[in-house]
Structure 1
Amino acid sequence: MRKPFIAANWKMHKTVEDAVKFVEEVQHRLPSEDVLTCGIAAHFLALYPMVQKTKGINLGVIAQNSYGEFSGPYTGEVSPRALAAAGVQYVMCGHIERRTLFHEDNTMVAKKVAAVLQCGMTPIICTDETMVQQEFNGEVHYVFAQLMDVLSEVSFDQVKNIIISYEPSWAVGVGQHANPTLAEEGCRLIRRSIADTYSYEVADKIRILYGGSVNPENIQLIMSKRDIDGVLIGRASLDADNFLTMVDRVAELYAPQKPTAKQPAKK
């Protein structure tokens, strides 16, 4: 069974002081790692202080971006090697805002994924709903062309160490509404694309997150879907109590069920 992953994406919100305070507020209130995994994607300045605060607790630190080279004359960029040395565990690659605002293409994202893997971190590869039709063994399948282009240089062994986040453009942004049925269909098709390219065994192990207008009201319905293994939460994750509410609601779905008391035998 794939372990759920609940990730907050703070984007460019919060100061370093705010980030540390948030960790202090949630650190003793998180569920066991046996139930689910939690993580927070913060801006670069907050990452190292957060790593120091999250040691020994179920809260991974996620970088929102990194460069595709380990070092060199790339003013303003951050090396994945430096992130790994700082204790960062995950790196988001190809978020829809990076693609639309900073014009990152599949080639650039693929280099970032390869560099993150080489540094021993887990890439969270973001993809949208771009699909093409391809034929496999006489059947027409919908393939996520953007994602498969990014994964073109990822080996069979490496692909087991990635996380995918499905971010449909129709569900990203303030005022949008998540559609759990469409979210599930997108995640299902992603898993099928992975199975067609690698194997069904690999596809069954990869965690696929859904990112787009997730909040306390819809998170349980979204997470009840078969192929959705976690969520990437934006604005709704900025408040500590709000974040914990969403984590707790997912934990309710996945916590081991307590055995019911046996009924006395009828006489």
Structure 2
Amino acid sequence: MPRKKIVAGNWKMNMTPAETVAFVSKLRPLVDDADADVVLCVPAIDIVPALTSTRGTCIEIGAQNMHYEENGAYTGEISAGMLSEAGVKYVILGHSERREYFHETDEELNKKLKKAFEHGLTPILCCGETLEQRNKGITLDWIRMQIKSDLFGISDADVAEMIIAYEPIWAIGTGMTATSDQAEEVCKAIRECIAEIYDDYTAECVRILYGGSVNAGNAAELFAQPDIDGGLVGGASLKPEFGKIVRYK
């Protein structure tokens, strides 16, 4: 069976609750009959208004992070159980900004992935290389290391249901975009890595996204690649242009 495309917006630290409601009201008619799954990953403060304003639509809501513990003295954190009970379906894990600014490790991400699956959340696991790593020719080795470390001990059934987003760090928010060939090369390598760890069936099931300055002008070419199943969209997901990306054909 062909994999259904998915376009997920990562709002990062943008949009107040009131702005969230206003934006969703504009976005809804633009994505109503989309062929792709549509997800908005919003700041924690926006989750409830986002869920309320998307009720009855094709838009699903995701979180941008979560802790790997059920509860406890973790001021400022949010748990998988809280997200699941609220009605959240997806959660971004391992974004390069979390890895860099908050020093998240692959060991922590492995725990987060397991906890997300435990609560029925679909993780969007991010991976990617720096420009220095690309210039050194170690992109694929680095990505494979991230994937193998993050998925350690996770079942093939869970992996088949998850999403992996390849985001070259040098293309995030810079206006630079990997060429369709560069993006496909890495996404294909990710799928081959999954097949190596698990099996061909699992590799064919998992949806792999490209992220890194995705916009309405380049989405169709990127999403047409055989191993790219959609996009994780940053800045453009804050604008009505996001509707054009979702309807990329």
TM range (shorter): over 0.9
| Counterpart for residue 5 of structure 2 | 4
| Paired residue type of 1:14 | M
Q: Is the 8 A contact 1:143 1:193 kept in 2?
A: no
| Counterpart for residue 228 of structure 2 | 228
Is the counterpart of residue 15 in structure 1 residue 16 in structure 2?
Answer: yes
Partners of 1:218 and 1:28 in 2: how far apart?
22
| Counterpart for residue 193 of structure 2 | 193
SS at structure 2 position matched to 1:152: coil
| RMSD, matched Cα | 1.4
- Show CA shifts across 1:193-238 (max 9, x none): 0001100011011100001011111111101111000101111121
| Counterpart for residue 25 of structure 1 | 26
Bigger drift between 168-177 and 39-48 goes to 168-177
Q: Is the 8 A contact 2:3 2:205 kept in 1?
A: yes
Q: Is the 8 A contact 1:194 1:202 kept in 2?
A: yes
Partners of 1:49 and 1:237 in 2: how far apart?
17
| Counterpart for residue 239 of structure 2 | 239
Write the mapping of 1:104-119 to structure 2, written as runs, cut at 5 A: 104-119=104-119
- Show CA shifts across 1:52-75 (max 9, x none): 121221111010000011111111
| Counterpart for residue 90 of structure 1 | 90
Q: Is the 8 A contact 1:80 1:116 kept in 2?
A: yes
Q: Is the 8 A contact 1:209 1:232 kept in 2?
A: yes
Bigger drift between 166-175 and 97-106 goes to 166-175
- Show CA shifts across 1:17-60 (max 9, x none): 11111111122331436x21001111000011111121221111
Q: Which structure has more helix as a fraction of its residues? A: 2
Q: Is the 8 A contact 1:31 1:248 kept in 2?
A: no
1:174 positional shift: 2.3
Q: Is the 8 A contact 2:127 2:143 kept in 1?
A: no
Is the counterpart of residue 213 in structure 1 residue 210 in structure 2?
Answer: no
Partners of 1:246 and 1:146 in 2: how far apart?
28
Q: Is the 8 A contact 1:222 1:228 kept in 2?
A: yes
| Counterpart for residue 135 of structure 1 | none
Residues matched between the structures, number: 239
SS at structure 2 position matched to 1:8: strand
Partners of 2:109 and 2:186 in 1: how far apart?
20
Q: Is the 8 A contact 2:140 2:189 kept in 1?
A: no
Partners of 1:177 and 1:92 in 2: how far apart?
21
Write the mapping of 1:30-109 to structure 2, written as runs, cut at 5 A: 30-32=31-33, 35-109=35-109
- Identical columns (%): 38
Deviating above 4 A after TM superposition, structure 1's stretches of 4 or more consecutive aligned residues are: none
Partners of 2:74 and 2:244 in 1: how far apart?
41
Partners of 1:10 and 1:64 in 2: how far apart?
8
1:247 positional shift: 1.4
Cα distance change on mapping 1:25 and 1:62 into 2, 3 Å: same
| Counterpart for residue 247 of structure 2 | 248
1:158 positional shift: 1.4
Unaligned runs of 5+ in 2: 130-138
| Paired residue type of 2:224 | S
1:143 positional shift: 6.5
| Paired residue type of 1:201 | Y
Q: Tell me the TM-score normalized by structure 2.
A: 0.92
Bigger drift between 172-181 and 21-30 goes to 172-181
**Looking at CA atoms only, which structure, 1 or 2, has the larger radius of gyration?**
1
Partners of 1:31 and 1:179 in 2: how far apart?
30
